[in-house]
Every structure is written in structure tokens, then in C-alpha cells.
Amino acid sequence: MTKRQRNSLIIGGILFVLILFFGISYNGLVQKEEDVKKAWAQVETVYQRRADLIPNLVNTVKGVAEYEQETLEAVTNARAMANSVKVDPDQLNQANFDVFNQAQSNLSSSLGRLMVVVERYPELKATQNFSELQQQLESTENRISVERHKYSETVNKYNSTLRKAPTNIVGALFGFEEMPYYKADEGAEVAPTVDF
């Protein structure tokens, strides 16, 4: 084997290793990005489940708490706003994520105010229909928390892989971007004051 053939073989081997490395890194990033999109779809699904429960809850409350029209309208409007904000998994950036999260937080606040109003109507709390809806809503809220946590774990795996060398080179070359995390709602770090 001549020196020229040996050099060609070495260069070919190096190119093969580089191509293999880039292929494996690229495919790994694609898989992790798809995992994030899948986790995001689960988050949206549980939020949709909550939104689907609200009309029945509002109608049940409306039948008993007829003087609470303002609160019921606030919940209905917040639900409509939350349903109108959708985030395409391919456009999952911080700005879109913040708009979605704000709409969901507003709906959560409205639901919280509705539950405070319900406390004034013991006959409503005693109905089986309301009790079942409240249990379903509580279960859904727990599921939201679980899915948000899973989403953040998936984003953590993707973002950390994207930032590690030498995969960060592949990510930069092919336009992979970090995905947003769920963070605690503003003010969540302060414990509420409870007066008896």
C-alpha cells in the first residue's frame, strides 16, 4: 500500500467517523425534540379536559347560585380565552409558551374564585352532580400538575443534551433551539395569609 493510499484511507476513516457522529447526534436531538412535543401534547390534553368540565360546572352552579352571574361570566370568558390560545409544538418558544401559560393561569384564578363563591351555597355542595364535577376537576388539576412535571423533565433532557459539547455544534448547525420550562406562577413563592 502506498503512502497516498494510506493517507486516503485515514482521511476516509476520519470522514466516516465524523459523518457517523453527526448522524447519531442529529438523530438523538430529533428524538428528544419529538419527546418534548409529545409531552407538550399531553399537557394540552389535560388542560382541554379541564376546559371541557367547565360548562357543566358553570351550569350546575348557575342553577343554584343565580346571583353570581359576574363570577360565572368571568369563568366562561377565561375558558374561552384559554381555548383560543393554542401552541403549535413546532412553535414552542418562550413567547408562545408564556401566552398559553397566562391564559391557563387566568382560567385557574377564575375557577378558584368560583369555588369560593360555591362555599356560600351549601345546598349546591350537597348535590351529587356538583360533587362529581368537583372531584373530576380536582383529579384533572392533579393530572395537570403531573403532566407539567413530565414535560419539564423531558425539556430538561432535551435542553441539556442540546447544550453539551460536541452535540451543541450539531444543534447550532441544524437550528435546534432550547425549549421553555414550566416555572412556578408569579407570587407562588409567597405563602398565602390565612386568618381565622
Q: Where are the domains of the chain?
A: 41-174
Give 3-state DSSP helix, strand, coil % of the chain, rounded to 5: 80, 0, 20
- Res 184: pLDDT: 65
Q: What is the mean pLDDT of residues 136-154?
A: 95
Residue with the bigger pLDDT between 43 and 166: it is 43
At which residue does the C-alpha cell 370568558 appear? 77
Average pLDDT, the chain: 88
Its CATH architecture, for the domain 41-174, is Up-down Bundle (1.20)
Task: Identify whether the C-beta of residue 29 lies closer than 8 Å to the C-beta of residue 159.
Answer: no
Averaged pLDDT for residues 91-115: 92
Q: What pTM value is reported for the model?
A: 0.82
CB 167 within 8 A of CB 153: no
Among 21-35, 87-101, 110-124, which stretch is predicted with the lowest mean pLDDT?
A: 110-124
The answer to whether the CB of 92 falls within 8 A of the CB of 40 is yes
